[in-house]
Amino acid sequence: MNPTPTERQRDFYDGIAGQYHDLRYGSRYGKLFRALHHEALSDLLALVSPNARVLEVACGTGHTTELLYQRGVDFIACDLTPRMLERARQRLSGPAPFLIADAGVLPFPEAQFDVVISTRFLHLFDIVDQHRMLGEMVRVLRPGGRLIVDFDNFVSRWVLAIPHLLYNLARYRRLAPETEYNRIGQVENMLASLGLSDLRSIGVGGYHLIVPALISPQFAVRLGRMHQGRSMRVLAEQFVTTGIKSR
């Protein structure tokens, strides 16, 4: 029997868990993206009550989990890949509210969490699987709770096709990643159909930012912040979308 997409992703990330964090966030652009991504997520988490109960889905090696630790919130972080979770424990060196779980069948009753967050994950799956996993995240979210998720940006992928190609060749020796590229409107419509309202999307990163980063990392961060808003988010590598469960 052929493995499912989820099983293929688990096996792949189990094999690269030891080097994943450095590979993703150790380069000049990786450090820039990490700073911009953390900043955008921190702004959204600042909207959340300190007493909120938070679930992080597909936490990987703890890129976003670091922010939850820093805020001191009550959270559970889950992932399907044991070695990724072990790497997260090693990196964060603190209490370990980690759980092995499949994002497609979350092991929680309905309406258990005030916030559900999942980052750098959903782009690994096609739109059908994305819809199924988002449905699970919304299911365990309480009415009035906040969902925070991110996606790879379809428009940026093609508008900035040459910088995208050059970065992937230089960094990963590939023409392009195997990923699902989403449109912002498509994602917001999908989340609205799942019962979310007050939807907002924020642009994050962009491979073209590596050029100003070579001159001044601080300037590249300032330029990257300009990609958050509606007028320039089409150039962002990814976008973070947030909404409130209305029913």
Least confident among 2-16, 19-33, 89-103, 126-140: 2-16
Query: Residue 230: which CATH number?
Result: 3.40.50.150
CA torsion 145→150→154→159, rounded to 10°? 120
Total count of domains within the chain: 1
In degrees, to the nearest 5, what angle opens at C-alpha 50 toward C-alphas 222 and 105? 90
Residue 98: CB atoms within 10 Å = 21
Q: Please give the model's pTM, rounded to 2 decimal places.
A: 0.92
User: Domain range holding 19?
Assistant: 5-245
For 61-73, the pLDDT digits (tens) are: 999 999 999 888 8
* End-to-end CA separation in angstroms for the chain: 39
Nearest CA to 119 out of 184, 65, 192, 173 is that of: 65
For 174-185, the pLDDT digits (tens) are: 766 778 999 999
For 88-107, the pLDDT digits (tens) are: 988 887 666 899 999 999 99
